[in-house]
Copies of this chain bind each other. A is one copy, B any other.
Amino acid sequence: MEPMKKTALIMAGGRGERFWPKSRQNLPKQFLSLTDDGKTMIQLTVERILPLVDIQDIYIATNRAYKALVREQLPGLPEENILCEPVGRNTAPCVGLGAVHMQKKYGDAVMMVLASDHLIKYTSIFQATLNDACEVAQAGENLVTMGITPDTPETGYGYIKFLPDRARGHALKVECFVEKPDLETAKEYLASEQYLWNSGMFIWKVSTILDNIARYLPDTYAGLERIQAAIGTPDEEAVLEKEFTAFRSESIDYGVMEKAEDIYTLAGSFGWDDVGSWLAVERIKSSNEFNNVLEGNVVTVETQSTIIQGRDKLIAAVGLEDMIIVDTDDALLVCDKSHAADIKKVLELLRISDRTQYL
């Protein structure tokens, strides 16, 4: 079978509040460098798939506010491949927008849908898995999702239940998707060996996903058809604005995947990390003999298992354990690790106290 053209849609509209104060409304996580190599998350995402997809065939879905950041960080990408959503409507309209652009240009293609703010440690394993996924997607009207072999009873992810006896090569038939579980349930999932984490990465033909959107989200599909018809016309912007704004906010998981048939998953074991909070920095960066991950002009005394992200300003940490300290020009975060999820409460307080310049 002759391989089809491969394309990628990288979703880069997220706000990444959990990396405040380094991430801000005007500089979300995907545009930050959180690794030692100095490359930003979106740069790494593109770099990772270049052996499989031409840069000309990579699309970035983001919002208008970030277009300049995308151009700056990905100078080799054609400007017309930056798809700006007028408003955020979750992932289903986003995927649909990418698909109608690709259909217009290529007729059909195998389309990868990727997050812009995840990290993957073993790039070559990832690429091989992605290649397998493309073959499965091309071979039929299959929706393919990248599952991640779990190693902990994680409560922060959705799970994919697969049918072990219905494999097609490396691809496993999906029985169902399940929401984020509580800890007890997550432990059962882990023990059962029939569940994978849902990474939010998908592979399908453009035609397949559009058929599924037409079936399960017909109103959205109708709007997408009108958007597609306007591409390249003087009305393109106005139609996009009107139709996209009218879309119901819907995730591709809930809107399509949980309802669709013929879903396959590939069990990825390539060191995937969704970098969901400051705690991830410990997994990404090297720590010293006291289990501290330090960056910047730092002095520590009797301090262990602490993450400090500073710059030129001197930061002295004394008697700390399991803390997160992030210093920027105008804002400082000091957070106990067990409360990393409460950072979003800081942003709420800043909103209601009208200190929006820090968001």
Q: Are B335 and A299 in contact (CB under 8 A)?
A: no
Partner of A345, one of B310, B318, B321, B346: B318
Beta-carbon contact of A342 and B299 below 8 Å: no
Interface centre among A314, A335, A342, A349 (most CB of B within 10 A): A314
Q: Quick one: which of A299, A331, A358 has the most chain B CB within 10 A? A: A299
With A299-B346, A339-B302 given, is the CB distance from A332 to B318 under 8 Å?
no
Q: Assess whether B314 is in contact with A334, with CB atoms less than 8 Å apart.
A: no
Q: Is the CB of B316 within 8 A of A332?
A: yes
CB of A21 closer than 8 Å to a CB of B: yes
Within 8 Å by CB of A330, from B302, B313, B318, B330, lies B313
Interface residues in A37-84 (C-beta closer than 8 Å to B): none
Please tell me which one of the listed residues B318, B353, B355 contacts residue A333 in the complex, with CB atoms under 8 A apart: B318
Q: Which of A324-359 contact B (CB under 8 A)?
A: 325, 327, 330-336, 338-340, 342-343, 345-346, 349-350, 353, 355, 358
Distance (whole angstroms) from the CB of A310 to the closest CB of chain B? 8
Could you say how many copies of this chain the assembly holds? 2
Known A-B contacts A316-B21, A339-B318, A358-B314; the reply to A301 vs B334 at CB < 8 A is no
Q: Is A214 among interface residues, defined by CB-CB distance under 8 A? A: no
Alpha-carbon gap, A132 to B261, bound state (A): 95
CB distance from A25 to the nearest CB of B (A): 15
B339 touches A319 (CB 8 A): yes
Contact in complex: A319, B338 (CB < 8 Å): yes
Residue of B nearest to A358 (CB): B314
Selected from B297, B331, B333, B342, the residue in CB contact (under 8 A) with A302 is B342
Collect the chain B residues with CB atoms within 8 Å of residue A302's CB: 339, 342, 345
Report B-chain residues with C-beta under 8 Å of the C-beta of A353. Answer: 299
Question: Is A317's beta carbon under 8 Å from chain B?
Answer: yes
Q: Is the CB of B327 within 8 A of A332?
A: yes
Instruction: Tell me the minimal C-beta distance from A166 to chain B in angstroms.
Output: 45
Please give the distance in Å from A331's CB to the nearest CB on chain B.
4
Contact A335 B318, CB 8 Å, known A301-B342, A342-B301, A346-B299: yes
- Partner pick for A336 among B20, B313, B320, CB 8 A cutoff: B320
